[in-house]
Amino acid sequence: MQACTDPLTMDSFPALDPDDGEVLDAEVVVTDDVLVKAFALGPGAELSPHEHADSTNVFHVLAGTVTVVRGDEEAVVEAPGVVQHDRGVVHGARNETDERAVFTASLCPMPGSG
């Protein structure tokens, strides 16, 4: 799935259908100053903890339930939900349910743009 490049296209969200334990992702919006990626986590899947030193990252939980990891904390976030990760904070996500979980991650400014 490629990012939407046509400004008249209103819905550019990809169809992501992961298997158990699988993480699928796709870039939804890529501009000079923001990156939005979609993630779909199959049951038992994990987006490994990581950090973005120069970008704020906001998760928008769109479907299902995600266990969000932020530093030493964890929280179960059900759709609809929003979680902000400040610059340089280690964060990740797990799907501990039997259903698919879907969220976007919005990074601003765009990693590497500053």
> One-letter amino acid identity for 92?
G
Continuous segment of H or E residues that includes residue 110: none
> One-letter amino acid identity for 44?
G
Which domains can be identified in the chain, with CATH numbers?
23-108 (2.60.120.10)
What's the pTM value of the predicted model, to 2 decimals?
0.87
> How many CA atoms lie less than 13 Å away from 76 in the CB half-sphere?
5
CA dihedral 41, 43, 45, 51 (to 10 degrees): 50
Of 32, 36, 33, give the one whose Cα is nearest residue 105. 36
pLDDT 10s digits, 13-63: 889 999 999 999 999 999 988 999 999 999 999 999 999 999 999 999 999
